[in-house]
Amino acid sequence: MSRRRVLLLLKPFDVYPPRNKPSSSPLSRPLNPQVLRYLNDRCRVHKDTIDFCQDVLQRKHLDWEPILRNNLFQPIRHFDLVITVGGDGTLLRASHFIDDTVPVLGVNSDPTQPEEVDQFNDDFDATRSTGYLCAATASNFEQVLDEILEGHRSPSDLSRISIKLNDQLLSTYALNDILVAHPCPATVSRFSFRMNTKNQNHSLINCRSSGLRTCTPAGSTAAMLSAGGFPVPISSRELQYMVREPISPKAMDIPWMHGLVKHDESVHVAWYSKEGAMYVDGSHVSYSIQHGDVIEISTKAPSLKVYLSQSLLR
C-alpha cells in the first residue's frame, strides 16, 4: 500500500511585528513590556505548534514535506492532503492553488485565549487567531488527523467565487470574498452592476460608493458581517453582495444595495473610475482594473474540500 502524500503549508514567522527594535522616530516610545511579552508568546506558540505537527507527521505512515506559504507559487498536485498551520489566512493562501480534488485541513497555530483577552482588555487587544475554517489546534491535531486517515471524517465542499475580467476567466477563485474598489479607500468608486439569470437581465444599478463586496457562505462571517451583512449557512451555494457606503442611492435602488446571488445567477459589474482593483480574499491577491472594464462574478467555480470543526457542521 502506497504512503499518502501530505503537504504541510506553514505561516512564516516574519508576519509577527518586530520586537524590541529601537525606532529613530522622535514620536516613538518603547512598547509596554506586557505587549512585548504577548508578541513574543504569539511567535513561540506558533513555532511550538509547527514543531508539534511535524513530530506527529513524522510518526505516521506518510510522505510529507513542509513549505512556507510565501514560497507557494505553483498549483498543488500529486498530494492526498494539504495541512495548513497558521490561521484562516494560510488556509486561504492554499485555496488559491488547489482544485476540487485535494482536501485541506487547517490547524490554528495561535488560537485566542479568552482569559488572556479579559486580563489585558484595558491595556491592549490580546485577540489572537480566529481560525474560523481551521478544524484543529495543537491540542487535537493528532486526533483529527487520525480520524481523517482512518476514514472517519469527511471534508465539506465549500463554494468559491469565479471571476471573469472582460470575458477572461481569472485563475484565482475566492474562498472568502472579492472586493471591487478604488485602490485608495478615500476615493469614490463609480460603477454599475446588474444581476443576470439564465433567462433574464435585471435592471442596471448605478453606484457611487466605496466599492462592491461579494462573499461566499464561508466568508459571510468575516468582513461582510462586520459591514452589516448576515451569516449564511456554510453549506449554501449562494453568494452575498453588498454595495459599501452608497452615496445617495435612488429610493428604487436601495433594495439592491445588499442581497443574495443564487447559484444560477451572476453579477455583472461595469467599472467607470479611472483606476480600480479587485481584491481576492484580502489584500494579498489583487487585479488592476480601469475605466470600461467589465467584471462577471458567479458561483461557477470548483468547490474546495475542507475539513471543518464539528461546531460549523451543526
Give yes or no for residue 21 having a pLDDT over 60.
Answer: no
Cβ atoms < 10 Å from Cβ of 75: 12
Contact (CB, 8 A) for 67 and 85: no
Out of 141-145, 198-202, 232-236, 239-243, which region has the weakest mean confidence (pLDDT)?
198-202
Cβ atoms < 10 Å from Cβ of 14: 9
Tell me the C-alpha distance between 218 and 15, whole Å: 24
Output the pTM of the full model.
0.92
Give yes or no for residue 23 having a pLDDT over 60.
Answer: no
Q: 105-131, pLDDT tens digit by residue?
A: 999 999 999 999 999 999 889 999 999
Place of cell 433594495: 255
pLDDT in the model for residue 37: 87
Percent of the chain with pLDDT over 70: 94
pLDDT in the model for residue 60: 96
Out of 28-32, 116-120, 213-217, which region has the weakest mean confidence (pLDDT)?
28-32
Q: With respect to CATH, is domain 4-158+305-313 assigned 3.40.50.10330? A: yes
C-alpha pair distances (Å), 227 with each of 112, 170, 287: 23, 26, 23
Give yes or no for residue 209 having a pLDDT over 60.
Answer: yes
Tell me the C-alpha distance between 308 and 153, whole Å: 9
Place of cell 477572461: 168
Tell me the C-alpha distance between 32 and 197, whole Å: 56
Q: Where are the alpha helices (DSSP H) in 100-185?
A: 114-119, 141-149
Q: Quick one: angle between helices 141-149 and 33-59, nearest 10?
A: 30
Closest Cα to residue 194, out of 259, 290, 281?
259
Percent of the chain with pLDDT over 90: 84
Query: Which of 17-21, 154-158, 194-198: highest mean pLDDT?
Result: 154-158
The backbone torsions φ and ψ at residue 224, rounded to the nearest 5 degrees and listed phi first, read -60, -45
Architecture per CATH, 162-298: Sandwich (2.60)
Give yes or no for residue 222 having a pLDDT over 70.
Answer: yes
Give yes or no for residue 35 having a pLDDT over 90.
Answer: no
Quick one: 195 exposed, middle or buried, by C-beta within 10 A (0-12, 13-18, 19+)? buried
pLDDT in the model for residue 172: 95
Give yes or no for residue 159 having a pLDDT over 60.
Answer: yes
Q: 267-299, pLDDT tens digit by residue?
A: 999 999 999 999 999 988 999 999 999 999 999
For residue 152, what is its C-alpha cell? 472517519
User: Sorting pLDDT into bands at 50, 70 and 90, what band is 100?
Assistant: very high
- Counting Cα atoms < 13 Å in the Cβ hemisphere of 241 gives 24
Tell which wins on pLDDT, 276 or 314. Answer: 276
Enumerate residues 6+ apart whose C-beta is below 8 A from 171: none
Average pLDDT of the chain to the nearest whole number: 93
Cβ atoms < 10 Å from Cβ of 49: 24
Query: Where are the domains positioned within the chain?
Result: 4-158+305-313, 162-298
Overall average pLDDT of the 178-197 stretch:
95
Out of 86-90, 107-111, 126-130, 204-208, which region has the weakest mean confidence (pLDDT)?
126-130
Closest Cα to residue 191, out of 268, 107, 80?
268
Closest Cα to residue 274, out of 187, 213, 212?
187
User: Sorting pLDDT into bands at 50, 70 and 90, what band is 22?
Assistant: low
Contact (CB, 8 A) for 306 and 104: yes
